[in-house]
Amino acid sequence: MANSKFEYVRDFEQTDSLLPNTWIVVRVDGRAFTKMCAKYEFEKPNDRRALDLMNAAAKAVVSDLPEVTISYGVSDEYSFVFHKSCNLFERRASKLVSTIVSTFTANYVFSWSTYFPGTPLSFPLPTFDGRAVCYPGVQNLRDYLSWRQVDCHINNLYNTTFWALIQLGGLGNKDAEKTLAGTLASDKNEILFSRFHINYNNEPEMFRKGSVIFRDYELVDPKSHRVADEMDDLAEPTQQSKSQADKDKKRRLKARVVVEHLDIIKDDFWDRRPWILSNKPGKVPKEP
């Protein structure tokens, strides 16, 4: 039996390749996580186990997909960045998004019991959605990541103060909301310090800065190069020689994938880790 009679239906598939020479960001978001938080009694304002689980899932994505050059997560969301020269899946949006979302979800569900040993999952299971966005310039990409990290800061400062007012100050939700209405960052810092003796800057860095995942090589002297400029000058996805590509691959496999909680808004982070924007693996540090 030939299948030719029905095969015309393939013509309805439409290509969704993303513009070449642009940075691709795939952002994954938890679906209905407010309900999830309530159902599994996540701690407020931050549940360390939940964040560690998110980080474990994201780390698995970065490990499985070496094309991801950097990843940033906060709360129930994670952004994965493909280098602008990346040609994985011919840059098809649905392939890239679904692969990342599937890998993330698989690891989240699989590792749940490690981080919530006494709390078995039940239906409906935790799930995530995703989308891809292209950024033409290095500065656009860094602004995207800065946007997410500033958001992390704003939300965490608010939530920390809000839950301090409730958990330590004995206020109800509405009164806590009223207390914070119209306050500036400095006001919230003041409330935390004067009422609860909390110095916000001593809060865990993971809560204040979110998590950034990348392959780790030896840090370089930030003055020795101008990666961002070089990257924008790079017109065409670089054609590497086969042997160079193999060398790079080996180095990448040797590199540790690390989860850190660093400022990625300032230049310093990027200047010391040129491999993130250049996509050329750095020097693998010697074992101590």
CA–CA distance, 203 with 148 (Å, rounded to integer): 19
Among 60, 62, 206, 276, binds a copy of itself (CB under 8 A): 60
34/173 with CB nearer a copy of itself? 34
Give the nearest distance from C-beta 58 to a copy of itself in angstroms.
Answer: 14
Judged by phi (left if over 0) then psi (alpha if -120 to 50, else beta), residue 221 lies in: beta
Binding segment (CB under 8 A) for a copy of itself, from list 17-25, 44-52, 198-206, 217-225: 17-25
Question: Is 76 annotated among the ligand-binding residues?
Answer: yes
75 is in an annotated binding site: yes
Closer CB to a copy of itself, 91 or 282, in the complex:
91
Q: Does 13 bind a copy of itself (CB under 8 A)?
A: yes
- Say how far apart CA 66 and CA 32 lie, in whole Å: 30
Cβ 28 to a copy of itself shortest distance, Å:
8
Give which of 75, 8, 11, 67 is closest to 37, Cα–Cα: 75
Which of 34, 44, 110, 249 is the binder for a copy of itself (CB under 8 A)? 110
Q: Confirm or reject binding of residue 203 to a copy of itself (CB under 8 A).
A: no
Q: Which residues pair with 29 in a beta bridge?
A: 77, 129
Q: Interaction with a copy of itself in 181-200: which residues (CB under 8 A)?
A: 185
Residue span 238-277 as binding mask against a copy of itself, x where in contact by CB under 8 A, dash where not: ----------------------------------------
* Other CB atoms within 10 A of residue 199 CB: 10
Secondary structure of residue 179 in the 3-state scheme? helix
- The label of the residue with tokens 């701690």 reads 43
Contact status: 16 vs a copy of itself (CB under 8 A): yes
Instruction: Please identify which residue in 46, 69, 79, 99 interacts with a copy of itself, judged by CB under 8 A.
Output: 99
7 vs 287 by CB, closer to a copy of itself: 7
| Residue 38 or 235 having the CB closest to a copy of itself | 235
Q: CA–CA separation, 144 vs 148, rounded Å?
A: 7
Nearest residue to 111 via CA among 64, 59, 42: 59
Return the residue matching tokens 């496999």: 253
- Cα gap 127→108, rounded to integer Å: 9
